Amino acid sequence: MPVFPPGPFLKLTKQRSEGDCGIAALSALFSLPYEDVLDMASRMCRDSPHRVGLYGTDILRIAKHLGHPLHRKRNCHFASDEGILGLMSKQKQRGKKVNNDHWVVVSHGLIFDELDIWEPKEYFKVYRFKPVSILVAKYE
């Protein structure tokens, strides 16, 4: 489990652009100002990462540069894992997959999607996402 400073264990962060779910998730998980994470993402990634979104490798590199290294696990254990969950859209439009992949925070057995807090079972009933992997704290 990551070591958190005294205070709230998460500072929920609202998305500010269509593609900034990864930035918001990093901000919330590590209780960092959104602007600090956006600044780092803008310096390390392609143009407008808050509009076009982040890949898992982007999040791993940004987290490491922010002093919070993460590593990827294939399966998420909601009861014990804490990190950033990668979700793949299962939505289709005219028979083709719609690219609405998403990043959310998993902590204390719950899913934190922006300012909303969900039980995983209910979240997946409502949203058509499939968990792909979770990025969790890397312990040396």
Note whether residue 34 is domain-resident.
yes
- What integer pLDDT is reported at residue 100 of this predicted model? 74
Instruction: Report in angstroms the alpha-carbon separations of 69 from 1, 15, 46, 58.
Output: 12, 22, 21, 12
CATH of residue 115's domain is: 3.90.70.10
In whole angstroms, give the CA distance from residue 2 to residue 10.
Answer: 11
Note whether residue 16 is domain-resident.
no
- What integer pLDDT is reported at residue 138 of this predicted model? 74
Average pLDDT across each block of 10 residues of the chain; the chain has 140 residues. List them in order. 64 86 94 92 77 85 95 95 91 59 94 95 91 85
Note whether residue 46 is domain-resident.
yes
Q: How many domains does the structure of the chain reveal?
A: 1
Note whether residue 90 is domain-resident.
yes
User: The pTM is what?
Assistant: 0.86
